Amino acid sequence: MKFFIDTANLAEIKEANDLGILDGVTTNPSLMAKEGITGAQNILDHYVTICNIVDGPVSAEVISTDFEGIVREGEALAALHKNIVVKVPMILEGIKAIKHFSSKGIKTNCTLIFSAGQALIAAKAGATFISPFLGRLDDISSNGLDLIAQIRGIYDNYAFDTEILAASVRHPMHIIHCAELGSDVATCPLKAIKALANHPLTDSGLAKFLADYEKGNS
Ligand code: G3P
C-alpha cells in the first residue's frame, strides 16, 4: 500500500519524506489555509516547493465548480510539475472534467467521495485516484471502512485501474484496516504514520538489550 501524507506543512512533509517510506502528498484548500498559504500565486509556488521535496504524486485541488473553470485551473496546475495530480470535487461538472483530463493524459484525484456510486462514476470517467473520506463518514455514525471494502469489490469486478486513496484517515488503525481491505493508498497525518512504529514491548526490549550490552562491556 502506498503512503501519502495529507498536509501542506513543509516541515511535516520533509520529516515524512526523510523516513524513506513516503510515496506522495495530498493537500486541499483547508490544509493550505491552515498553513497560512493564501493568494493564487503563493498557492501555486507552494505546490512546486512540495513537488521539489517529494518524488511522487502531489494532489493540487481546483476551486472552480464549473467544467470550463475546472479544466482551465486543472491544466494550469498540471503544467506546474510532472508529478501534479489535479484534485477535482465529486460533482457532475467534475466528472466531465475528469473525463477530459483523462483523454489528455492528465492525472486526477476525485475528492469528497462518500458513496460507492460516486466511486463508480469517477472510475468510469477515468480518474487516476478516488478519495473516500473515512473519518468524516465515521463522524456521522456511518462506517468509512465498509465503503473502502465496497469500492474494492466493485473495482475488482471490472478491473478498473482507478486507485482507491483512503482519505480523512485519523489514526493508525484506519491505516492498518485500509491495508487489510486492499486500499491502494492511504493519505495520512504524520502523527498516524509515526504511531505505526510504536509498541511498548519494542521499547522495553530495546532498553534491556542496551542495558545488557552495557553490563557486558563495562
Ligand atoms: O484527505 C482529506 C482530509 O484532509 C480531510 O480530513 O480530517 O478534515 O476529515 P478531515
pLDDT tens digits, the chain, 218 residues: what are they? 999 999 999 999 999 999 999 999 999 999 999 999 999 999 999 999 999 999 999 999 999 999 999 999 999 999 999 999 999 999 999 999 999 999 999 999 999 999 999 999 999 999 999 999 999 999 999 999 999 999 999 999 999 999 999 999 999 999 999 999 999 999 999 999 999 999 999 999 999 999 999 999 98
Q: In the prediction, which pLDDT does 73 show? A: 98
Q: From the CA of 30, give the closest atom in ligand 1.
A: 4
The confidence score (pLDDT) of residue 19 equals 97
Pick the catalytic residue from 14, 34, 82, 87: 87
**Among protein residues, the one whose CA lies closest to atom 8 of ligand 1:** 168
Please check whether residue 169 is in contact with residue 134, taking contact to mean a CB–CB distance below 8 angstroms: yes
The rounded Å distance from CA 25 to ligand 1 centre is 13
Contact 86, 78 (CB under 8 A): yes
Decide if 89 contacts 112 (C-beta within 8 A): yes
Cα dihedral 142, 145, 146, 148 in deg (nearest 10): 130
Q: Catalytic annotation on 87?
A: yes
CA 167–ligand 1 middle distance (angstroms)? 6
Residue 35 corresponds to which cell in the numbers above? 498553513
Q: Which of 111, 112, 113, 133 to mutate to test the pocket of ligand 1 (most atoms within 8 A of CB)?
A: 133
CA of 6 from ligand 1 middle (Å) equals 8
Task: Look at ligand 1, atom 7, and give the residue with the nearest C-alpha.
Answer: 168
CA–centroid distance, 206 to ligand 1, in Å, is: 35
Q: What is the DSSP letter of 36?
A: T
pLDDT value at residue 218: 86
The CB of 136 under 6 Å from ligand 1? The reply is: yes
> Among residues 90, 20, 27, which one has the least CA distance to residue 54?
20
Amino acid identity at 90: M
Closest C-alpha to ligand 1, atom 10 = 168
Which pTM was predicted? Answer: 0.96
28 lines ligand 1 (CB under 6 A): yes
Under DSSP, is residue 163 helix (H, G, I), strand (E, B) or coil?
Answer: strand
Helices 92-103 & 67-78 angle (0-180, nearest 10): 40
